Amino acid sequence: MLALRLLMAALVAASTAVPIAAAAQQGGAPAPPLDYAFFKTSVQPIFTAKRPGLVRCIQCHMHNTNSRMLLQPFAAGATSWDEEQSRKNFETVAKLVVPGAPAASRLLRHPLAQSAGGDPFHAGGKHWDSQGAPEWQILAAWVRGQTSASR
């Protein structure tokens, strides 16, 4: 009976655990805001970049409706997003980050090699072998609150 009570207490504690976003901010400092201008000028171009041996992020993330990162499709004949599409992309991608905590953010973990702290699988392949990769560093700077003005 005591073992059952201990098990139940553990289950209740686990189910009420602090979410990742809150846990990342327990240092007392509020999470930095995500800067739209930095996203538009520095983060969004990463999604269209060609990488050797891999497809561009947009090749899957503009069409795969099962993706958590469903980016807006380009308008007919366009090669980039307009302002409205960029705003929608910002809203979508912002849901995949924990502001202030790059290592806790799905956007940064999913395409990162598992040996560098990434998720075990990403259907589009692993885009970065380390957290030192330049694109990973740009994403991390955005998640940490870097702004276009502070560049």
Per the DSSP assignment, residues forming a β-bridge with 128 are 112
Q: Digits of tens for pLDDT over the chain (151 positions)?
A: 434 333 333 333 332 223 334 344 445 678 889 999 999 999 999 999 998 888 899 988 988 888 899 999 999 999 999 999 999 999 999 999 999 999 999 999 999 989 999 989 888 888 999 999 999 999 999 999 999 887 6
Q: How many CA atoms lie within 13 A of 120 on its CB side?
A: 0
**Tokens at residue 64, please?**
């795969």
- The answer to whether residue 151 sits within a structural domain is no
- The answer to whether residue 27 sits within a structural domain is no
- The answer to whether residue 66 sits within a structural domain is yes
- The answer to whether residue 6 sits within a structural domain is no
* Residue 27 pLDDT: 57
The rounded distance, in Å, linking the Cα atoms of 81 and 57 is 14
- Range of the structural domain that residue 45 is part of: 33-143
Per the DSSP assignment, residues forming a β-bridge with 112 are 128
* Residue 25 pLDDT: 47
Q: How many CA atoms lie within 13 A of 141 on its CB side?
A: 19
Q: Work out how many domains the chain is built from and give that number.
A: 1
Q: What is the pTM (predicted TM-score) of this model?
A: 0.78
- The answer to whether residue 3 sits within a structural domain is no
| Contact indicator for 124, 57 with CB cutoff of 8 Å | yes
* Residue 94 pLDDT: 97
- The answer to whether residue 2 sits within a structural domain is no
- The answer to whether residue 91 sits within a structural domain is yes
- The answer to whether residue 15 sits within a structural domain is no
The rounded distance, in Å, linking the Cα atoms of 18 and 101 is 15
